Structure 1
């Protein structure tokens, strides 16, 4: 009886004798493992990046007027830009703001937000931008400057870093709010540039202009009619309490407001990203199916070419299960080599893909990201072994006498 070490040696010998064929078969596994791992890591890094951004805003509640459809749903945050329609039923009143302030002021900072989308003129350039109006005393509490100062008059504003970069705005630059072709404009001066905030559900300031409430009302009117009210809760544990109290008080008789927190948006975004990642990985998995067919073909060719060898082995006492193991080992070797090389390449290629698609590799080595390398490696090995089972079974069930007669 041939020992297990000899069986493994015979499997290695077969792979070496048909080296080029084995390399091509293993290459399919390499490509499949890299594709699945890279796509998985890209999706994981996107999810982790978004989750981290929104988690920083987990203590912020946004109150908007109830519109009958959940208060703005989808992925766009209530403060994420866009024009306010100006209709009373989509705006919060001064009375509602005071009620919210009365409830939530003891838990943190409460402030009302005026918001409009309008044309701005910077030199000869005309474009759209979001205009915010905030209480001047609140602006330093909720927004962080990169340079300059906070606005102290109705003629001064701070701007987001994106709009500043795109329009080459600096401290002292002038902006005309409004379309000069359609009527009068209001000229304001940039006194500060904000730090980048990224995705947020309270205020999307990166591409916005922020001034005082008096400036906003002086341009658009609508004093005491707010797009939303934001609450920055001091203690994260109080978020649910504040949300419940506001809903119970203001929606006691009729639905007047909708209270949103980052968890709702986070669940929607992560669910969508997870679905997209699974879909992309499924497409990438097609390459592993192609590799499986290649492995199966290689193993069947190996059986057909070694029928006489199998007959000799059987005639000297080799058992069927040992013949079976010999061919399974051969498929396993191809899987281990292909998946191992694929895993190493996945780290290099995946890093480039993540950096290019997500813009940061900060979370690349996080467990939720690296797990896709392990998963793709295991899938590659399992596919090789599974596709080698039938050829191995067929080899083990060959009749020894008929096998010896083979040419």
Structure 2
């Protein structure tokens, strides 16, 4: 029997029982579609995490105060008051292979312009913050060293703040009030839009660090030090040097625990990528279970088909059909179910992933590998679960088959 003829007979047999064939394929369709959707969601989560960390800057190290053991209880990083501006200056002066050092403080305030007001995050920054966070001033200027030295009440605002307080007017040169204190707007930042995690990157106000410390917050410490290393291969070395320098400056000797936390964003990204990859594989594995269920459905329906067509099998064998011919006929039927179900599953999975990405704020990422693997798996499922019914059909005794009612 020719291969093409076997395919024709298989398709004819499936079309003769359309509803049963569709219901059999449904398990494969759901399985393949679920695998594609789950993996695209997992890949989307990984991309969001990666983009969020990358948006903080390249080759970044962030130092925050805290993470000390006090009375047996670990305080949260950033809650301590041990990190000073002098620490940032010392890092900049004494450690090599560093491009920028930008100490910061921040808090939330209501920003007022006349009868307009807007709640936003206010950051105390230095001029290096512009470079380290890859910001661009669309109009006006940025905070300067002179502003730091003089504790000037000046502010650079994001486009969200500018729109809500000034509408279409140019804010540069006008005054706003922060904590009931007047600040002159000297610049507006170019829009960066939402981050991958949905945070508005344009909803912020930047003022000189010294002004924020002394005139706004009334503090002498800083809340973080952002450090950009000159190259990725020097990050670990620079991180170790920063830890040694800060331990020396904070008089931490022997086994005394650090009163600061140094985070390497490269290693953090690797950790988060590894975690999200495991999540993606877990989601894909859960979805793949439905493929196995679909395979069992194929075996079940093929067993029914063998029983229904026992006399047909007997006639074929009596006319000279070999074990191989019968085996091939039923295997092709199960493979056709797997192929058609896999293709329809791919269409459904891609469509659902695109719908999720378009109509929700959740990002999905479609890649070729999961699609190809899930399709190959659906064909393999059809082949694997079709072997037993095919062997049963091929081993039927032609005389007994002809007598079957």
TM-score relative to the length of structure 1: 0.79
Residue of structure 1 equivalent to 2:131: 141
Q: Is the 8 A contact 1:156 1:188 kept in 2?
A: yes
RMSD, matched Cα: 3.5
Show structure 2 runs of 5+ residues with no match. none
Distance 1:310 1:131, change over 3 A: same
Task: State the SS of the aligned residue for 2:177.
Answer: strand
In 1, the alpha carbon distance for the partners of 2:344 and 2:400 equals 40
In 2, the alpha carbon distance for the partners of 1:140 and 1:3 equals 72
In 1, the alpha carbon distance for the partners of 2:278 and 2:262 equals 27
From 227, 233, 244, the counterpart of 1:231 = 227
In 1, the alpha carbon distance for the partners of 2:286 and 2:97 equals 52
Residue of structure 2 equivalent to 1:104: 95
Shift of 1:120: 4.5
In 2, the alpha carbon distance for the partners of 1:251 and 1:198 equals 37
Shift of 1:108: 1.0
Q: Is the 8 A contact 1:324 1:392 kept in 2?
A: yes
In 2, the alpha carbon distance for the partners of 1:167 and 1:327 equals 73
Q: Is the 8 A contact 1:107 1:238 kept in 2?
A: no
Distance 1:395 1:174, change over 3 A: farther
Task: State the SS of the aligned residue for 1:222.
Answer: coil
Q: Is the 8 A contact 1:132 1:208 kept in 2?
A: yes
Residue of structure 1 equivalent to 2:58: 58
Q: Is the 8 A contact 2:98 2:230 kept in 1?
A: yes
In 2, the alpha carbon distance for the partners of 1:276 and 1:174 equals 49
Equivalent pairs counted in the alignment come to 379
Structure 2 counterparts to residues 210-289 of structure 1, below 5 A? 210-216=206-212, 217-223=214-220, 225-251=221-247, 253=253, 254=256, 255-285=258-288, 287-289=290-292
Structure 2 counterparts to residues 3-402 of structure 1, below 5 A? 3-55=2-54, 57-68=57-68, 85=79, 89-104=80-95, 107-121=98-112, 129-135=120-126, 137-142=127-132, 143-145=134-136, 147-151=138-142, 154-164=152-162, 171-172=170-171, 175-178=176-179, 185-190=180-185, 191-196=187-192, 206-216=202-212, 217-223=214-220, 225-251=221-247, 253=253, 254=256, 255-285=258-288, 287-357=290-360, 364=366, 369-402=367-400
Task: State the SS of the aligned residue for 1:195.
Answer: coil
Q: Is the 8 A contact 2:122 2:206 kept in 1?
A: yes
Distance 1:257 1:42, change over 3 A: same
Task: State the Cα deviation string for residues 34-77 of structure 1 (Å, max 9, x = none).
Answer: 222122123223323432453462312111224138x999xxxx
Shift of 1:158: 1.9
In 1, the alpha carbon distance for the partners of 2:141 and 2:349 equals 47
Show structure 1 runs of 5+ residues with no match. 79-83, 179-184
In 2, the alpha carbon distance for the partners of 1:386 and 1:122 equals 71
TM-score relative to the length of structure 2: 0.79
Task: State the SS of the aligned residue for 1:144.
Answer: coil
Distance 1:324 1:174, change over 3 A: farther
Task: State the Cα deviation string for residues 243-280 of structure 1 (Å, max 9, x = none).
Answer: 12212333363424322121233234324433443444
Q: Is the 8 A contact 1:113 1:226 kept in 2?
A: yes
Task: State the SS of the aligned residue for 2:138.
Answer: strand
Distance 1:321 1:204, change over 3 A: same
Task: State the SS of the aligned residue for 2:396.
Answer: coil
Task: State the SS of the aligned residue for 1:372.
Answer: helix
Shift of 1:123: 6.2
In 2, the alpha carbon distance for the partners of 1:374 and 1:320 equals 32
